[in-house]
């Protein structure tokens, strides 16, 4: 089975280079009409230049595809709304959104400023919110949508000097978890990519030989799968160097403590049982409540049926 996107319209943010460029070109090769969004700023989010996105559009057109450039700053809702409006004016639909745009302001938490933290969150988290919100009703009404948010191992597991980036990248996971539920009956699926790639954002941070393996082109197949018609939903797919894995947030089975032991000392005494065993991935927040109530009912001998 060949996965294609004929008749589909895709918006890829931060597509002037690196991962975004790779995503945009490969989507176009498989039949999608592509909006190449890029502010054209530096890695730290300074400046703006439309040439990068225009160059990618030219590449796509040279391959026989259709594309348009838009320089919206994803942190600015009005600019994003303009991008979506122009997409609808040109093609009349919007099927795929790949939230890829990002910046870095790496510093230890002690040395970093609140202003830098807010800027990184505005681009990565609020930028994803702006783009997704601007597409959401269109996708619901046409009963078709595929959305990717870009997370990171820095958000899932932490990385020294990236408190701001990690917080934003974990934030999009929480967004995905809820939107997957809200979009289900409208055939709107949303997933997360956790990429490892050798781009200008990681250059100099990774050994040269390893960097050479981490091409954007090895990550893009993960995006192509996550925005396909038969894609999963609410999935975190890690990708890099041609390797792929699914990341899951799991919760231990835990245990109920009698009232006399519902103290910090009681938790300490039973920490081994609380912190280990029965790990599973919950599918919605209410499942945790049901589990906790069930344990309490069993411990108290209550029949809640």
How do beta strands 236-240 and 243-247 pair?
antiparallel
Same domain assignment for residues 277 and 222: no
Q: Give the pLDDT of residue 198.
A: 64
237, β-bridge pairs? 193, 246
Q: Catalytic amino acids?
A: 165
**Does residue 123 form part of some domain?**
yes
- DSSP assignment of 124-181 equals IIIHHHHHHHHHHHHHHHHT-EEEEEE--HHHHT--TTBHHHHHHHHHHHHHHHHHHH
Distances (CA, A) of 31 to 4, 92, 93: 6, 16, 15
The domain spanning residue 139 has which CATH number? Answer: 3.40.50.720
Could you tell me if 283 and 230 lie in one domain? no
- pLDDT level of residue 50 (50, 70, 90 thresholds): confident
Looking at the structure, tell me whether residues 167 and 31 fall in a common domain.
yes
pLDDT tens for 228-272 read: 999 999 999 999 999 999 999 999 999 999 999 999 999 999 999
Structure tokens at 132: 């997704």
Q: How far is CA 298 from CA 7, 56, 266, in A?
A: 54, 61, 18
Residue 3 lies in a domain: no
Question: What phi-psi label fits residue 185: left (phi over 0), alpha (psi between -120 and 50 degrees) or beta?
Answer: alpha
The mean of the pLDDT values for the chain is 94
Q: Are residues 176 and 42 in the same domain?
A: yes
217 and 267 housed in the same domain: no
In a domain, 217, yes or no: yes
C-alpha atoms less than 13 angstroms from C-alpha of 68 in its C-beta half-sphere: 15
What are the residues whose beta carbons fall under 8 Å from the beta carbon of 298, sequence distance 6 or more?
A: 256
Which structural domain range is residue 113 located in? Answer: 9-247
> What average pLDDT does this structure show over 54-61?
97
Task: Say yes or no: 106 and 241 in one domain.
Answer: yes
CB 69 within 8 A of CB 53: yes
How many other C-beta atoms can be found within 10 angstroms of the C-beta atom of residue 280? 12
User: How high is the pLDDT of residue 90?
Assistant: 98
pLDDT over 70 at 68, yes or no: yes
Instruction: Decide the pairing of beta strands 33-37 and 67-70.
Output: parallel
Q: What is the pLDDT of residues 90-147, one digit of tens each?
A: 999 999 999 999 999 999 999 999 999 999 999 999 999 999 999 999 999 999 999 9
205 — pLDDT class (breaks 50, 70, 90)? low
Using the predicted structure, report yes or no on whether residue 188 has a pLDDT greater than 70: yes
Full DSSP string of 179-207:
HHHHHGGGTEEEEEEEE---STTTTTTS-
Same domain, yes or no: 236 and 263:
no
pLDDT band of 40, cuts 50, 70, 90: confident
At 164, the pLDDT band (50, 70, 90 cuts) reads: very high
pLDDT of 207 > 80? The answer is no
Residues 241 and 267 in one domain: no
The answer to whether residues 182 and 281 belong to one domain is: no
Domains held by the chain: number: 2
């Amino acid at each position: 089975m060949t996965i294609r996107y004929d008749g589909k319209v895709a918006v890829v943010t931060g597509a002037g280079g690196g991962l975004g460029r790779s995503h945009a070109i490969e989507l176009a090769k498989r039949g999608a009409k592509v909006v190449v969004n890029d502010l054209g700023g530096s890695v730290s989010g300074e400046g703006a230049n439309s040439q990068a996105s225009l160059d990618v559009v030219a590449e796509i057109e040279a391959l026989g595809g259709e594309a348009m450039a838009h320089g919206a700053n994803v942190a600015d809702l009005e600019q994003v709304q303009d991008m979506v409006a122009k997409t609808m004016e040109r093609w009349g639909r919007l099927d795929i959104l790949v939230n890829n745009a990002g910046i870095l302001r790496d510093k230890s938490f002690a040395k970093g400023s609140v202003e830098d933290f807010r800027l990184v969150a505005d681009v990565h988290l609020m930028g994803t919110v702006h783009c997704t919100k601007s597409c959401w009703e269109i996708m619901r009404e046409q009963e078709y949508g595929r959305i990717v948010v870009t997370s990171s191992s820095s958000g899932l597991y932490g990385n020294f000097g990236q408190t701001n980036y990690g917080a934003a990248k974990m934030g999009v996971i929480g967004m995905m978890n809820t939107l997957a539920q809200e979009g289900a009956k409208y055939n709107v699926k949303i997933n997360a990519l956790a990429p490892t790639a050798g781009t200008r954002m990681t250059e100099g941070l990774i050994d040269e030989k390893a960097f050479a393996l981490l091409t954007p082109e090895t990550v893009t197949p993960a995006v192509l799968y996550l925005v396909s018609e038969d894609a999963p939903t609410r999935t975190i797919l890690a990708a890099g160097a041609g390797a792929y894995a699914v990341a899951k947030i799991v919760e231990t089975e835990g245990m109920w403590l009698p009232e006399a032991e519902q103290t910090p000392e009681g938790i300490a005494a039973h920490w081994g049982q609380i912190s280990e065993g029965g790990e599973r991935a919950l599918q919605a927040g209410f499942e945790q409540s049901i589990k906790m109530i069930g344990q309490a009912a069993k411990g108290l001998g209550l029949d809640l049926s």
